[in-house]
Structure formats: structure tokens, C-alpha cells
Amino acid sequence: MRNVYIAGVGSTTFGKHIAMPIETLAVQAAASAIVEAGIERKEIGALYLGNFISGPLNGKEVLAGIVGSRLGLGNIPCTKVEGACASGGIAFRHAWMAIASGMCDAAIVVGVEKMTHSSTAEVTSALNCAMDNENDGPSGLTFPGLFGLAWRAHAQRYGTTREEVAAVVIKNKANGLLNPLAQMGAELTLEKIVASAMIADPLQMFDCCPASDGAAAIVLCSERLLSKNGQERIKILASAQTSGSPRIADHPDLCSFEATVTAAHKAFELSGLQPEDIDLVELHDCFSIAEIIDSEDLGLVPRGQGGKWAAEGRTNMGGDVVINASGGLLAKGHPVGATGIGQIYEVVQQLRGQHPNQVPNARIGMTHNLGGTGVACTVNILGRE
Amino acid sequence: MRNVYIAGVGSTTFGKHIAMPIETLAVQAAASAIVEAGIERKEIGALYLGNFISGPLNGKEVLAGIVGSRLGLGNIPCTKVEGACASGGIAFRHAWMAIASGMCDAAIVVGVEKMTHSSTAEVTSALNCAMDNENDGPSGLTFPGLFGLAWRAHAQRYGTTREEVAAVVIKNKANGLLNPLAQMGAELTLEKIVASAMIADPLQMFDCCPASDGAAAIVLCSERLLSKNGQERIKILASAQTSGSPRIADHPDLCSFEATVTAAHKAFELSGLQPEDIDLVELHDCFSIAEIIDSEDLGLVPRGQGGKWAAEGRTNMGGDVVINASGGLLAKGHPVGATGIGQIYEVVQQLRGQHPNQVPNARIGMTHNLGGTGVACTVNILGRE
């Protein structure tokens, strides 16, 4: 396999873009990434697009071909991939594969979602397409319900407290305030969090990421096409994709997602790195408790200590490992298909030393994108050469 | 790139499977393919699933992960790809890439769709997700409308007649009668065809493929895993994927699909073969006129002669090139995401000499899968070694 580099990145803001057609969001992010990459369009040999629920919410499919055509990329293969909330991460891995395997020297990946024009009922129903509805549907569980159960299990086994979980929310919402792309940064306190509406006990409103519109894009390339435009050389050190049981009742443990554990293991194996080498991670905090579980599953925090580390500031700026300096899904937003690409956008800006909430001297960053009930996962490790 | 072989195939019948959950259809086809392949499940390193509109019609996404889990394939990457009616073909190409690139030694691809439980209005609306609705939506065109226009253009330029187009229908419906997997084989005459309901002038009912449920699956492998179970060695000689304009008004010519022309060109280039080398082709006859256009775009029939060749029996069994011995989409059915995989299933049976409508001594077969308004296309060439 050949080395693969980041050539350019682009992103819309995450938030409400009600008047923008979904493909326009995607084209905006992608065009920015192409311009930044300084690579001629004719060099781009493949397009991957990550999207989850444009069919149900926008009545639009074949978005990969539509976006490729709008970008003027010619007759190249344009492929949409879907893996629920991990759609973006899976799309990224395929763009990486296209170059690593020698199929082409440059590829573009775009992640996009448009949700905020729909009603809460429509969004909830569409998001539930990521459940194993044949088996879990009769239980009536939605995603807040699942993560509420996970929180209860984590609290019972490890003694994780409301204060510890709230520390995740306070940190990410504060980080989001510093990120101009973020939808919902906020200055929060424990009091404000516990006063917010109950969603799925014990999850309250501020424990849940918002519905979002947005797009992010990355141009990847082989060493031959790497621009000499003075940008830092950002190399993809590992790209791992795994799956796990879609059925909640089949999860051996609600305090852990097997897909994350196996993806992290594989990413460390591929890169030859250890958890201690990771300076920062953008991980999949769709709910506050998810950040705690993810940080343990990734091996970045000792098992059962995710809540304590958050409360002690060890996952904050200047801590042992910086988690979600961007604000994460909780504050930056969660335009589902765009999230996995947006995470890479954030890590690239960190490794370039250009992030508005910069981790000092960041050299190695990780992204973690989790789909559905843990049915799909991607973990990437990127490094500054 | 390494050589890639067909290890095993499986398929449900195409037709109405109203009581079967969509994932059960997929698992049934996939489990058959795995058993036939004689490869241990732990050897399978990737799953690709082609599906188009399970979100809108079944309220189910992440089907790749759900099917992989049901099959007991462990934590391997499971990826759904979507490219409208070419979803199956695109999924197949990615399974091929996974092995050709050395990422794994065996991969499975499944195509599936479930449509017949939905109303005609729901199906039409879902299928129209494959249009460029921002641009072409205001025209009110559906797919029968587009292919009706294409027919008129072809008739005007090349003098293609109603009788010639009907010859395609009569041939494919008769072939379908011999295929136990087919949904709608029939003994038809020109009189019966012209007496059928008008759908989108000049397209009548028998000129249109039905809505269908069904699944098909292929296990692909490297030479190392090729079973010595006495099956013919079927090698993938070329796998090409292209895109074309989604916007109908941007098509330079309604008598041709650029995505098909470029995909065929690439497939011949990759394989070093010529159109004359192709013994049989399974091509994308979503409408009768589509078969005529496709046969010309693929270079199998001289430009403008598609209707005449059909009427003269030159695309029938025993003709110059056998088109859609399976019955094609018109008679076998069109469970959208399954179609591209079902075509490969048919060609493999032909190359093994085991097809119920066998082309004598078939050595080289082609498949052609076209998505949307020509926005995505795949062409594969398979050969018996």
C-alpha cells in the first residue's frame, strides 16, 4: 500500500442551511477543498460521498454522481456510501483505499447531510433507519433511549455521576464557542444542564447533539501530487473500518462498543502507535455519555475512568489527551453524513497549527466515527511529518 | 492488481416477496453464495451491499452491517453503496477492488431491493430520487418519460420502428419464460404489446420492467482461495465504473448515455478484448428502448442498428451477440439494488455451462448496469479460463 496524504480540506459551517439544496452544501465544501489542494480537477480519479438519510429527508439519492457532475470532474467513478452516522468515515476510508491501492493519485471525499428543514418526528423516524428495526423495533427504543440505558449501565458498574457526565457537556460546549464552524457552542454550568428538559432519563437536552445541516470535504493524494505550497505534510497513518452487532440485545456489554474497540486496535496496529502517542482525538460524542464510553473503547482513558478524567479536566485543553477541541458533535453539530469528514477537517487544522482552538504542538491526531447502535465504526490516525 | 475470481453465487427469485424483511432476502442470497463458494466465513474480509431505496420504502438503512451480522462475518468492514439502479454493479466493483488491491483474499457482495409492498405512487416517488430533481424536477419527467423521449429521438434519427422495439420485448419475455428466477416471462406478440396500456407515449406497459423484490450475491476471491471443487474458473477480466451528467438537459444526445460509452471503452481497454469477443451480455433494459441504446453504446451493435438487429434476431439465442438470455430487467425483473449482481449471477451460470437458457460454449460474458438518467454505470467482463 502506498502512502496517502491530505492535499486540501473544506467545510461549510454546521448549523441551519434551510435554503440550500443538499448538493449545493456538498459542492461548496468540495470546491473549497479542491482549491486548497491546488490539484487540477483532471487529476482527481474518484469521488466518494458519505450520506445517511438524504433519501427519506430530501427525496434525493445518487448524490455522488450529482455532486461529481456539479464539480466538473468528468466521467470518474462517483460512489455514495452509507453506514448510518459512520457514513463519512467509511467514505473517507474508501478514498484512502483508492489511492493506497494505486487505483488513482488523487481522490475527493465529501460528507453531507441536510436535516433541519424536517420536523422532529421526521428526523427521529429517519434516524431510526439506523436501528435493527426487525429485532429492536418492538422495544420502541430510539437512540437517546439506547444511550440512556448505556449511561445507567456505566453508572451502575463504574459509579459514573451526573457531575462527571456534565463535565463532558461543559467542555465541549465551551470548545464549540471557539469554533466558527460550530452550531451550538455555549457557556454552560451543571445547574443549567440539570435544569434542561429530560429527553430519555437520565439524558437531558444538553446531553444530546443537535440535528444539523452541513458538509465537509477532503482531497487526498499520493506523494507524487503533494503540493509544495508550504502546507504541513499531513499523512494518513492508519484508516480502519469495522462492524458490530446492530441488535442491541446482542451487545455483550452496554458500556462498550465492540466496533470501536476492534477499529482502534486495528488503527494502532496499522500505525505502530500507542494510545499515549495521540495528542488529540475527535470522537463520536452523539451524546455526552458516548464520549465517556468512546474514550475508554479507544484505549485513551482507562476502562471505567472516562467520567472521572472528564471531571478532572484530563480530556480538556492541556490535559492528558485532548478530546473534541472542535466542540464535538454536542457543540459543533451532527450533520450525520458529514460528521466523519468534519472530524478529519478539524484534526488537519490542528496538525497544521491553524485551529482556532489549537492544541499546542499537535503532531498526531485521531478521529472516531460510530454508526447506529455500534454497527459500523471507523478510526483514522493522521500525523504531521 | 491481482487476478480476482468468482468463488460462488446465490440468488433469490425476482418477484414478490412481500412477507420477507429486506435483510432476510439479502441473507438468503448471500448464504447460498457462501455455501457454494466453499470458503470459510473467517476468510471473508469485506462485505459490500448494493441498495437504492430501502430508506424511503422500508425505513431501513445500515443494511450492510445488519446483513454482515446476520451472516456471522465478525467485525469485518461492511459497506453499503448506492448509485441508483447501478448500486449493485458499483458494490461488485468495490468487492473486486478489495481483492485486486490485496486488502483481502475473499469478499462478498450482495444486492437487494424490496419494492412490491409499496404503492405505485410510493415506488414512483422513491425511484425519482435518482433524478436530478433540482434541475429536472420542474419538468415533471419520470423515468418512463425520459425513455419515451429517448425512443422518439432514436426513431427520428435512425428510423427505429415500433416493430423493432417490440422485438426486444418479445425476445426478453420469451427468454424469461425459461429462467426459473424470472418474475414475468411471457409469450408475447406485437399485437399484444401494442394493445397494452400506454405509459409514457410511445412506451407501453410491456416496454417497461416491473417493480420487484429480490437479492443476489457473489463471493469473490483471489487465486489462493479458488476452490478445487470442479467448478469452472471464472475470472473477472475487467470491472469499470463511470459517471455521467445527472441532468437530462445536459445530455448532448438522448440516443446515447455517455457513462455507458466510457465504461465500455474502459472495460475493453482493461481486458484487451474487442466487442466481437463478447459471447453474451446482460444489459440494463429497464425499458425496451434502453436495450437498443445500450447495445449500441456498448459497441456490440453498430450505431443506429439496435432496433434492426433485434428485429432480425441477431441479438437472440444463436445470434451475433446474445443479449439478455436471462430475460433481462423486462422479464426477470428489476429489484433495483440487486439487478447489477443478478446480471453477474446469470453470466456466471452461462460461463459454467449451467444456465437454463444456455448460450452454447459461452466463454466471455459482459454485464452492464446503468443508474438514474445515466449518472452512474458499471461494465464488467467475465471469462472462463
The pLDDT of B74-89, averaged and rounded, is 98
Could you write out the three-class secondary structure of chain B?
CCCCEEEEEEECCCECCCCCCHHHHHHHHHHHHHHHHCCCHHHCCEEEEECCCHHHHHCCCCHHHHHHHHCCCCCCCEEEEEECECHHHHHHHHHHHHHHCCCCCEEEEEEEECCCCCCHHHHHHHHHHHCCHHHHHHHCCCHHHHHHHHHHHHHHHHCCCHHHHHHHHHHHHHHHHCCCCCCCCCCCCHHHHHHCCEEECCEEHHHECCECEEEEEEEEECHHHCCCCCCCCEEEEEEEEEECCCCHHHCCCCCCCHHHHHHHHHHHHHHCCCHHHCCEEECCCCEHHHHHHHHHHCCCCCCCCHHHHHHCCCCCCCCCCEECCCCHHHHHCECHHHHHHHHHHHHHHHHCCCCCCCCCCCCEEEEEEEECCCCEEEEEEEEEC
Residue of B142 and B283 predicted with greater confidence: B283
Query: Which A positions 118-177 lie with beta carbon below 8 A of chain B?
Result: 125-126, 128-130, 132-134
Judged by CB atoms closer than 8 Å, whether chains meet at B243 and A125 is answered as no
A140-158 pLDDT, tens digit per residue, is 889 999 999 999 999 999 9
Buried b or exposed e, range B246-270, using 16+ CB within 10 angstroms: bbbeebeebbbbbbbbbbbbbbbeb
Pairwise CA distance, residues B24 & A110, whole Å? 31
Judged by CB atoms closer than 8 Å, whether chains meet at A79 and B76 is answered as no
Element (H, E) at A332: helix A328-332
Q: Give the residue numbers spanning the domain of B77.
A: 5-119+211-225
Q: What is the CATH number of the domain that holds B33?
A: 3.40.47.10
B2-40 pLDDT, tens digit per residue, is 999 999 999 999 999 999 999 999 999 999 999 999 999
pLDDT at A249: 87
Nearby residues of B371 by Cβ (< 8 Å), 6 or more positions away: A62, A65, B83, B84, B85, B86, B87, B90, B130, B259, B377
> Looking at the domain assignment, is residue A82 inside a domain?
yes
Q: Report the gap between the CA of A380 and the closest CA in chain B (Å).
A: 14
> Looking at the domain assignment, is residue A63 inside a domain?
yes
Name the residue of chain A whose CA is nearest to B129's CA.
Answer: A60
Chain B residues in contact with A260 by the CB 8 A cut-off are: none
Residues found in chain B: 385
pLDDT at B140: 87
pLDDT at B190: 98
Q: Report the gap between the CA of A47 and the closest CA in chain B (Å).
A: 10
> Looking at the domain assignment, is residue B27 inside a domain?
yes
The pLDDT of A69-76, averaged and rounded, is 97
Which of the 8 DSSP states describes residue A122? H
pLDDT at A229: 67
Given a cut of 70, whether residue B352 has pLDDT beyond it is yes
The answer, for A80 touching chain B at a CB cutoff of 8 Å, is yes
Residue B51: closest CA among B30, B26, B71, B33: B26
Backbone angles phi, psi at A228, to 5 degrees: -100, 35
Q: Dihedral of CA B125/B128/B133/B137: which sign?
A: negative
How many domains would you assign to chain A? 1
Lowest mean pLDDT among A7-16, A340-349, B222-231, B237-246: B222-231
pLDDT band at B249 (very low <50, low <70, confident <90, very high): confident
Distances (CA, A) of B240 to A15, A63, B93, B258, B378: 38, 19, 7, 14, 5
The answer, for A372 touching chain B at a CB cutoff of 8 Å, is yes
3-state DSSP call for residue A114?
A: coil
The answer, for A247 touching chain B at a CB cutoff of 8 Å, is yes
Q: Which of B85, B208, B221, B377 is catalytic?
A: B85
Question: Pairing between strand A106-113 and A198-200?
Answer: unpaired
Residues found in chain A: 385
> Looking at the domain assignment, is residue B337 inside a domain?
no
* B371 → closest Cβ in A62, A93, A250: A62
Q: How many helices (H) and strands (E) does chain A have?
A: 14, 12
Judged by CB atoms closer than 8 Å, whether chains meet at A97 and B101 is answered as yes
Given a cut of 90, whether residue A165 has pLDDT beyond it is yes
Q: How is chain A split among helix, strand and coil, in percent rounded to 5?
A: 45, 20, 35
pLDDT at B148: 97
Find cell 483508492 and name the residue.
Answer: A98
The answer, for B244 touching chain A at a CB cutoff of 8 Å, is yes
CB-based contact B321:B281 (threshold 8 Å): yes
A216-274 pLDDT, tens digit per residue, is 999 999 999 987 666 789 999 999 999 999 999 899 899 999 999 999 999 999 999 99
CB-based contact A46:A95 (threshold 8 Å): yes
Q: What interface predicted TM-score (ipTM) does this complex get?
A: 0.97
The pLDDT of A106-111, averaged and rounded, is 98
Give which of A47, A79, A92, A379 to mutate to test B binding, by max B Cβ within 10 Å.
Answer: A79
Q: Report the gap between the CA of B128 and the closest CA in chain A (Å).
A: 8
> Looking at the domain assignment, is residue A49 inside a domain?
yes
pLDDT at A146: 95
A265-314 pLDDT, tens digit per residue, is 999 999 999 999 999 999 999 999 999 999 999 999 999 999 999 999 99
**B284: annotated active-site residue:** no
> Looking at the domain assignment, is residue B352 inside a domain?
no
Given a cut of 90, whether residue A74 has pLDDT beyond it is yes
Query: Which B positions 45-64 lie with beta carbon below 8 A of chain A?
Result: 52-53, 55-56, 59-62, 64
Residue A135: closest CA among B110, B62, B213, B46: B62
Q: What percent of chain B has pLDDT over 90?
A: 94
pLDDT at B229: 67
Chain A residues in contact with B93 by the CB 8 A cut-off are: 77
Find cell 465478525 and name the residue.
Answer: B74
> Looking at the domain assignment, is residue B216 inside a domain?
yes
Q: Report the gap between the CA of A66 and the closest CA in chain B (Å).
A: 6
What is the average pLDDT value for chain B, to the nearest integer?
Answer: 97
Q: What percent of chain A has pLDDT over 70?
A: 99
Q: Count CB pairs under 8 A between chains A and B.
A: 183
Given a cut of 80, whether residue A205 has pLDDT beyond it is yes
> Looking at the domain assignment, is residue A55 inside a domain?
yes
pLDDT at A1: 87
3-state DSSP call for residue A369?
A: strand
Given a cut of 70, whether residue B284 has pLDDT beyond it is yes
Chain A residues in contact with B59 by the CB 8 A cut-off are: 56, 125, 128-129, 133
For residue B207, what is its C-alpha cell? Answer: 416496454
